[in-house]
Amino acid sequence: MPELPDVEVFRRHLDATSLDREVSRAEVRAGGELLDDVSASTFRRHLQGHAFRRTHRHGKFLLSSLDSGEWVAFHFGMTGFLRALGPEDPEPDHVRLAFHFEDGGRLVYACQRKLGRVGLAEAPEELARERGLGPDALALDGPAFLERLEGRTGRVKPTLMNQSVMAGVGNVYSDEALFQTGLHPERSVDELAEERRLDLQGTLHAVLETAIDIEVTGFPDDWLLPHREEGAPCPRCGGEVRRLRVSGRSAYVCPRCQPA
């Protein structure tokens, strides 16, 4: 479920399990659709005999430096995830990459739908520049958030999800932040007063932090997320949750808590 909080949880998992262990073999099981701008042999050559050194996250990208000097950049599409396995652990379905360690354990990258991409990068800043990513959403404080929204005229939900405005917010967490701020997703950014924008920033920040703290499981029952379904009762007012189409995606709202 990879938006910013999910990717941050993957990053911590990689840190806790896979740093400074020599990759004895890098297995590329997928065809050309997975590796981004790098051949399987080049990718293997940069990984094999090397180790993950330190990780960084920018938006929905997870990067790790290697002692070969390169960085690996993981993007998870809609269904990707990373998991470290012990020698005896069963493998999940749809494994596309496996980084084998000498003790028989391995770090696997799995992706059911083939929308994820993995590649090499010079550095995190370089990747962000190439991809045109805005600052990481969690790195924005109030004034920086205002600066990113300055002059924008689009609707608030697509703006939050625009990776060049800020990186990391997707469909689910934009819905959650807007719900908790009491903002309708189709409100135009330019009609929001400064206090409203700051409120949104504070709420978004808290939502992302909380989701990471609970490792994206067991969400508070007064959040929209566990009730993100057409006709479900709103956890705050008891009204009915509705599904709208906003920029081609489903947006869930409580019309009473989030007036248009």
- Catalytic residue numbers read 2-3, 60, 249
d(C-alpha 27, C-alpha 223), whole Å: 40
Least distance between DNA and beta carbon 225 (Å) = 10
Count residues contacting DNA (CB under 7 A)?
A: 37
Six-digit token string for 140 = 């924005």
Stretch that binds DNA, among 40-48, 163-171, 217-225, 233-241 (CB under 7 A): 163-171
Task: Please list the residues that pair with 186 across neighbouring strands.
Answer: none
Contact 168, 59 (CB under 8 A): yes
How big is the chain by its Cα radius of gyration, in Å?
20
Stretch that binds DNA, among 40-48, 153-161, 219-227, 234-242 (CB under 7 A): 153-161
Least distance between DNA and beta carbon 252 (Å) = 8
List 154, 182, 202, 255, residue binding DNA (CB under 7 A): 154
Contact 227, 234 (CB under 8 A): yes
Which CB sits closer to DNA, 23 or 34? 34
Q: Is 53 helix (H, G, I), strand (E, B) or coil?
A: strand
Least distance between DNA and beta carbon 238 (Å) = 22
d(C-alpha 47, C-alpha 72), whole Å: 9
List 124, 134, 135, 170, residue binding DNA (CB under 7 A): 170
d(C-alpha 137, C-alpha 201), whole Å: 9
Stretch that binds DNA, among 49-57, 106-114, 196-204, 231-239 (CB under 7 A): 106-114
Contact code string over 112-131 relative to DNA, x by CB under 7 A? xxxx---------------x
d(C-alpha 224, C-alpha 176), whole Å: 6
Site residues for DNA, 210-239, by CB under 7 A, read none
Which CB sits closer to DNA, 24 or 79? 79
Please state whether beta strands 106-111 and 80-85 pair in parallel, antiparallel, or not at all (unpaired).
antiparallel
Around 137, how many Cα atoms within 13 Å sit in the side-chain half-sphere?
33
Site residues for DNA, 25-64, by CB under 7 A, read 33, 59-60
Stretch that binds DNA, among 38-46, 47-55, 72-80, 138-146 (CB under 7 A): 72-80
How far does Cα 175 stand from its chain's mean position? 14
Q: Is 224 helix (H, G, I), strand (E, B) or coil?
A: coil
* DSSP conformation class of 139: G
List 188, 209, 215, 222, residue binding DNA (CB under 7 A): 188
How far does Cα 129 stand from its chain's mean position? 18
Least distance between DNA and beta carbon 61 (Å) = 8
Task: List contacts with DNA (CB under 7 A).
Answer: 1-3, 6, 33, 59-60, 75, 77-79, 94, 112-115, 131, 152-155, 158-159, 161, 163, 170-172, 188-189, 243, 245-250
